[in-house]
Structure 1
Amino acid sequence: MPDSHALSELLAAINAPDRTPEDIAALPVPESFRAVTVHKEDTEMFRGMPSADKDPRKSLRVDEVPVPELGPGEALIAVMASSVNYNTVWSSLFEPLPTFGFLERYGRTSPLASRHDLPYHILGSDLSGVVLRTGPGVNVWKPGDEVVAHCLSVELESPDGHDDTMLDPAQRIWGFETNFGGLAEIALVKANQLMPKADHLTWEEAAAPGLVHSTAYRQLVSRNGAGMKQGDNVLIWGATGGLGSYATQLALAGGANPVCVVSNERKAEVCRAMGAEAVIDRSAEDYRFWSDDDTQNPREWKRFGARIRELTGGEDVDIVFEHPGRETFGASVYVARRGGTIVTCASTSGFRHEFDNRYLWMHLKRIVGTHFANYREAWEANRLVTKGRIHPTLSCTYPLADTALAVHDVHSNVHQGKVGVLCLAPTEGLGVRDEELRARHIDAINRFR
């Protein structure tokens, strides 16, 4: 069993209303903890199966694992809650490749990095929790600090990353390309991944925005992405999903006009509740962008573009917020206005994109690739959350023991918004420090419930 006594003491101290940083620092670090893992020995279990038939409930385990060694510039976090992202789905399906290759290559870079090269991989790229210990060289964060973590792990030994850390050749996504992720009772992060937890949110709500909100911020708002401005028409695929729900909020908060694409009327109602007026239910309107597995249907692109113009007063979209990939990319390139931008960060329906290049080159459009966010972008995105300008899109939570079911739900697309996981937090609803701010935004906080 995990070090249950030490973990119980830790949880009691975290929940104590009058606790001090010294109380947390004085507690012993548990020797072991529970974590959601995949195992190297299982990487061939789904070989030859279509992606849709692979079942994360067969590959994901909840193991007892030892607490990793703490290195310079790092922090051990007592994880109160985490959430499921699509990279956890990919990891659980061992596609496009098993993640153990990432861990092996990282492990070869230094003796300290060799800690990550293990026969099991602790997944998870979000957390909210409490700093338990910090390593040498960490000065800003102390034991007892309530934090969230963004998922960029970066070395910054190359000059390439010093203008934009996402360009560092050694950047990795924590919990996907590194070990010791957030779907666990204790996590290991670099100190420059840490950000303040929003005082008005519960642990599970605070853990939900991290990866997807920061990704959407860079993709849509940052100069490294589309550089959205007031008045822009923004086509948002999957507007109530993990990424799209934050893109919709960012567009509305920034004075843009989101054109939200969803798959059913229930999700359309959520978009309208967020404040979006232009909503397309692609299932009800039966858009079929592919005639068969090998042939796209430009007539459907044109029908889709005409529908968008009906909703925008005759205007094409300035920005397309792309992440489905293969299924939608041809349509996305077509419907963007002349000089418009298609900004893409993922390919959940397939990585091989096809589009008619005439509509790109002759109409002077741009395709911009973005990937997560640098620390400044993640910090700015988190600042909007702490101020109550952007709200979590948490729809449900699972206990850590049922994480495989949570991942299965995301893989099967039966969810909306974000799916949370309680780690050390015994129940939902804990961790709120600012009840007044929470009361002002409680309807928005609960919108996806």
Structure 2
Amino acid sequence: MQEILAAIQADKPDAVGELPVPESYRGVTVHADEVAMFDGLDSRDKDPRKSLHVDEVPTPEPGPGEALIAVMASAINYNTVWTSIFEPIPTFKFLERYGRVSPLAKRHDLPYHVVGSDAAGVVLRTGPGVHQWKPGDVVVAHCLDVPLEGPDGHNDTMLDSEQRIWGFETNFGGLAEVALVKANQLMPKPAHLTWEEAASPGLVNSTAYRQLVSRNGSGMKQGDVVLIWGASGGLGGYATQYALNGGAIPVCVVSNQEKADICRSMGAELIIDRSAEGYKFWKDENTQDPKEWQRFGKKIRELTGGEDPDIVFEHPGKETFGASVYAARKGGTIVTCASTSGFMHQYDNRYLWMNLKRIVGSHFANYRESWEANRLIAKGMIHPTLSKAYRLEDTGQAALDVHRNAHQGKVGVLCLAPEEGLGVTNQELRDEHLTQINRFRGQ
């Protein structure tokens, strides 16, 4: 592994194809025999530092259409938090189900799960049938794992019956020194970014692109008022950028003044500080408060000059969904991709059906959408939202930060990269956008 790292650091990535692939590598894992370790605890009290391990694991052989990559850096997504606290179900259920698909998939059904759904690095080996990529290619990986053997995915790969999220519903994920991916997960690494910066956009950038920009999501257009929950977070930080880039009008919902300042630094002007306003959308665990929805809607109209949101960018779920359905304008769209505060949503359906609103489910992105989202990063039109990077050994702490919302933007993880700041090959473009690249740093 050190020889591979030395070749990459010497700016000779092509040389990695001549080096032997190590028989094992270090990866961040959860263990099947520990899935009951948090039984009886509330979600907020479950500690990823106790369940995430750094283990030496055997290196898989790339099969047809697959590639092994040397991972320089990765990042934390909420699916890694879910994996680490074994919610909503242990991911070993996913691996067991996947293992029944084929002999090749059987490799994923193991008593350990190497996690992680982002990666930036260098191709080590490719399996049979891979022609677009070769050892030495400098890449990032998106997290859509799809075989495309059936008909359902050939219009939109996210509809394929065997579509999975790599590193969450499959094994050999990106929080490791080596990762196994489908070759159609690979994209060129943005040359002006460091390894940790390049690894951080993947999942959330592509997800936000599909939710807002794609016709498969809400199809945002110029002038749309877009209500964005968590507008300085991992997902929201990209949603805010896409709204501004696309000529829309973001209304950014944040939880403190520091996050409000980040949104303003991106160019957003309409900001709601939830904490300062004191919104309590739930009277108790079982009862929502429509008067708070109304107060929230009034605040939005005060900021927009009387307009309700054309689009609501939803991902908190249970805590906010009732307010989101209420707040959207007549004929508006609530587009949802996650439920970080709870999966069981409640809303007053009268506001939906009588006002002809739509709820659109949006899950990650297909290869084309991911490619377009990565292209915008590579051109310096959309920027990473990395705030901090941890060592591989400290992934548990990184996941805890995200679990407790004690972070801004994205939290990165150095895998093979020995330190931050490496991997830039277009310094001129970097210098042009350095302020935007570092916007979330130190937050």
Map of 2:91 onto structure 1: 99
Aligned-residue offset at 1:32: 0.8
Aligned-residue offset at 1:157: 1.4
CA distance in 1, matches of 2:278, 2:250: 21
CA distance in 2, matches of 1:48, 1:61: 22
CA distance in 1, matches of 2:343, 2:434: 38
Checking the alignment, whether the CA contact within 8 Å between 2:13 and 2:122 is kept in structure 1 is no
Map of 1:141 onto structure 2: 133
Gaps of 5+ in 1: 1-6
Map of 2:351 onto structure 1: 359
Secondary structure of 1:283's partner?
Answer: helix
CA distance in 1, matches of 2:48, 2:209: 29
Map of 1:9 onto structure 2: 3
User: TM-score, normalization: structure 2?
Assistant: 0.99
Map of 1:110 onto structure 2: 102
Corresponding residue to 2:50 among 55, 58, 62? 58
Secondary structure of 2:217's partner?
Answer: coil
Map of 1:36 onto structure 2: 28
Cα-to-partner distance string for 1:281-319 (whole Å, 9 max, x where unaligned): 000110010111111111110110010011111100000
Map of 1:272 onto structure 2: 264
CA distance in 1, matches of 2:408, 2:227: 18
Aligned-residue offset at 1:406: 0.4
1:20 and 1:319, CA in 2 relative to 1: closer, same or farther beyond 3 A? Answer: closer
Cα-to-partner distance string for 1:22-68 (whole Å, 9 max, x where unaligned): x1211111111100000000001111211011111111100000101
1:117-156 aligned within 5 A: 117-156=109-148
Map of 1:227 onto structure 2: 219
1:418 aligns with 2:410: yes
Aligned-residue offset at 1:20: 5.5
Map of 1:4 onto structure 2: none
Gaps of 5+ in 2: none
Corresponding residue to 1:288 among 261, 280, 287? 280
Give the residue type in structure 1 aligned to 2:355.
Answer: H
CA distance in 2, matches of 1:8, 1:95: 36
1:174 aligns with 2:166: yes
Map of 2:67 onto structure 1: 75
Map of 1:309 onto structure 2: 301
Checking the alignment, whether the CA contact within 8 Å between 2:321 and 2:345 is kept in structure 1 is yes
Give the residue type in structure 2 aligned to 1:214.
Answer: S
CA distance in 2, matches of 1:357, 1:103: 37
1:364 and 1:200, CA in 2 relative to 1: closer, same or farther beyond 3 A? Answer: same
Corresponding residue to 1:253 among 245, 252, 266? 245
Secondary structure of 1:279's partner?
Answer: strand
1:402 aligns with 2:394: yes
Secondary structure of 2:275's partner?
Answer: coil
Aligned-residue offset at 1:423: 0.2
Checking the alignment, whether the CA contact within 8 Å between 2:130 and 2:183 is kept in structure 1 is yes
Aligned-residue offset at 1:108: 1.0
Q: CA RMSD for the aligned pairs?
A: 0.6
CA distance in 2, matches of 1:184, 1:418: 18
1:316 and 1:140, CA in 2 relative to 1: closer, same or farther beyond 3 A? Answer: same
Q: Select between 200-209 and 108-117 the one with higher mean Cα deviation.
A: 108-117
Structure 1 outlier segments of 4+, above 6 Å:
none
Identity %: 76
1:340 aligns with 2:311: no
Cα-to-partner distance string for 1:170-199 (whole Å, 9 max, x where unaligned): 000000000000000000000000000000
Secondary structure of 2:313's partner?
Answer: strand
1:350 aligns with 2:342: yes
CA distance in 1, matches of 2:155, 2:40: 42
User: TM-score, normalization: structure 1?
Assistant: 0.98
Secondary structure of 1:338's partner?
Answer: coil
1:195 aligns with 2:204: no
Aligned residues: 441
